[in-house]
Amino acid sequence: MILFVNSLTVIDFSYLDLKRGMVGESYIVDAELHGSLDDTAMVFDFAKVKKVIKQAIDQLVDHKLALPLSCDALSLTQDNTVNLVHYQSERGLISLASPAEAFAGIPSLKIDEKSVSQYLEQQIKPLLPQNVESLKLTLRPEASTGFYYHYSHGLKKHDGNCQRIAHGHRSTIQIYVDGMLSPRLNKMWAERWQDGYLGSETDLCESDSLQYLTGQPESYCFRYQASQGWFELVIPQNHCEIVPCDTTVECLADYIASELKAMDNKKMYKVVAYEGVAKGAIAQL
């Protein structure tokens, strides 16, 4: 017997990739539980599927930076209350210092749907009752015919896991000019923020003010204290856009609208910015 739950949850996270550097991603998760019926004539109670499996996914990967532990480009060490990560991508060296819970170590050469789903299946299967013989998780991006970008960021003021300095999303963008959808502007912003790190101007710092990392030529340095601990990031400048605001989706939508309005203030702009799947913010100027 197979029990299935489609669109069980969405994983919003970032990962390190040799060619693309730091990549923000959003995966919809479908679950299948293969097994026999228990004494309640169920494979597993639907309510428990959400409680057990979704909660485990959230704790293991969601709002974290996924690290390919088998990749030679990665160096991972522990120093007091933080883990230190160095990753030599083709876009340059990316270094982070963050609490251990901000990272997800995936035992693979690269991070993709297959390696993440296998990791989650191995970690979650022991949490399920004996009558569940196997767990299959399918990770998939949102089907989209429009424009989207992958971005990473951190929200130091957030009291939850969004405060982690390197997590991200795969996000749709829809820009309207005088009530009409503008494919040209959608394409322009999708390309501008593709595989980018969006850093807040207030989190920038000089390299000599970092506690755990060393600044690199032509790189930006970020640091902040949040409720989960101390966070630092050194990342190539060509990987970033610095914005004069926090990087909440509300602020990003307003930032895009303001940039467009500054180019032509005679037109009316509506920006629908998504944060991952099925949620986001709308700004109109």
pLDDT along the chain (285 residues), means of 10: 96 98 98 93 89 95 98 93 97 98 98 98 96 97 94 97 98 98 98 98 97 96 97 97 98 98 96 97 97
Cα angle: 243, vertex 245, 249; to 5 degrees:
95
Identify the CA nearest to 125 among candidates 67, 98, 117.
117
Distance CA 8, CA 117 (A): 13
Distance CA 256, CA 149 (A): 14
Distance CA 177, CA 203 (A): 32
pLDDT at 191: 98
Centre a 10 Å sphere on the Cβ of residue 206 and count the other Cβ atoms it contains: 9
List of domains in the chain: 2-284 (3.30.479.10)
| Region for residue 278 given its phi and psi (left: phi exceeds 0; alpha: psi -120 to 50; beta: otherwise) | left
Distance CA 105, CA 61 (A): 9
3-state secondary structure of 144: coil
Distance CA 235, CA 219 (A): 5
pTM value is 0.96
142, 127, 135, 47 alpha-carbon torsion, rounded to 10°: -60
82: phi then psi, degrees, rounded to nearest 5:
-130, 160
Query: Any bridge partners for residue 86, and if so which?
Result: 75, 95
Residue type, 26: S
Element (H, E) at 150: strand 147-153
Helical H segments across 193-265, by residue range: 249-263
pLDDT at 259: 97
Question: Which residues, 6 or more positions from 237, have their beta carbon under 8 angstroms from its beta carbon?
Answer: 218, 219, 220
Helical H segments across the chain, by residue range: 46-48, 55-60, 113-124, 183-192, 249-263
pLDDT at 141: 96
Tokens coding 134: 């196997």
